[in-house]
A and B are shown apart, each in its own frame.
Chain A
Amino acid sequence: AQSVTQPDIHITVSEGASLELRCNYSYGATPYLFWYVQSPGQGLQLLLKYFSGDTLVQGIKGFEAEFKRSQSSFNLRKPSVHWSDAAEYFCAVGPTSGGYNKLIFGAGTRLAVHP
């Protein structure tokens, strides 16, 4: 069965520091991979997605992620974090059994940013 693991529940970084959020997936074929961000009191917003091709994908708000098939990972990175990046981040994978564009989400990583 497909699954997504985000090993870090909470991460704290200083403003201006670099960031890497980890995501590992379990899937038998090449997955579709997503990162979403949820700011406090908001719904989820798509940051970036990987379907095929270049394994380094660029997203909004200065984020990027790299697909590494050998490690079953899709880690999210940002070179310099801003205070406004404090939020919860979710990794997701598709397709899932039964189709219909369903996704499986990880448990999330909550990012705190210190000034």
Chain B
Amino acid sequence: DVKVTQSSRYLVKRTGEKVFLECVQDMDHENMFWYRQDPGLGLRLIYFSYDVKMKEKGDIPEGYSVSREKKERFSLILESASTNQTSMYLCASGNSAVAYEQYFGPGTRLTVT
């Protein structure tokens, strides 16, 4: 079974803090994705990566950055957390040979106070 793990299930941070969300997958997938999930808005893509050290902006990249130094790990960084970044963050990975099939982690619920 594909396993995607995220470093924290719940996280509380203060406004202005730098926040790191970590995601690790164990299936040697090329593609990795970060989404945020908000009620009534579904999942919105923040950033994705199709290879080590490669990254592309998604639909809502403002206020976020990412890092992919190893194939299995994809980190989401909030440089200076703000209250409007309070959300559920979901990581996913996918094999580029199996079009569009993505496997999701359990999510991190981030609260910024």
A residues with CB within 8 A of B: 4, 6, 9, 32, 34, 36, 41-46, 49, 51, 90, 94-95, 98, 100-103, 105-108
A101 and B100 within 8 A (CB): yes
Do most interface residues of chain B lie in helix, strand or loop, or is the interface mixed? strand
Query: Which residues of chain A are near B107, meaning CB under 8 Å?
Result: 42-43
Interface string of B38-57 (1 = CB under 8 A from A): 00111111001010000010
Contact A51 B106 (CB under 8 A): no
Chain B residues with CB under 8 Å of chain A are 4, 31, 33, 35, 40-45, 48, 50, 56, 58, 90, 92, 94, 96, 99-107
5 further contact pairs, Cβ within 8 A, besides A101-B31, A101-B101: A43-B105, A49-B100, A90-B43, A102-B33, A103-B102
Task: State the Cβ distance, B89 to closest chain A Cβ, in Å.
Answer: 11
A44 and B48 contact, CB distance less than 8 A: no
Query: CA–CA, A46 to B90, complex, Å?
Result: 14
Q: Pick the contact of A100 from B31, B35, B41, B43 — CB < 8 Å?
A: B31
Choose among B43, B56, B96, B106 the residue that contacts A105 (Cβ–Cβ < 8 A).
B43
CB-CB under 8 A from B45, the residues of chain A are: 102-103
Distance to closest chain B CB from A44 (angstroms): 4
Q: Are B56 and A100 in contact (CB under 8 A)?
A: yes
B96 close to A101 (CB less than 8 A): yes
The 3 closest A-B pairs by CB, nearest first: A43-B104, A94-B100, A105-B43
Please, how many angstroms separate the alpha-carbon atoms of A60 and B40 in the complex?
Answer: 25
Is A102 a contact partner of B48 (Cβ separation < 8 A)? yes
Pair B42/A32 contact, Cβ less than 8 Å: no
Q: Judge whether B99 and A44 touch: CB under 8 Å.
A: no
Smallest Cβ distance from A108 to chain B, in angstroms? 5
Q: State the CA gap A90–B87 with chains docked (Å).
A: 17
Task: With both chains docked as a complex, state the minimum distance between the C-beta of A101 and any C-beta of chain B, in angstroms.
Answer: 5
CA distance A4 to B59 in the complex (A): 15
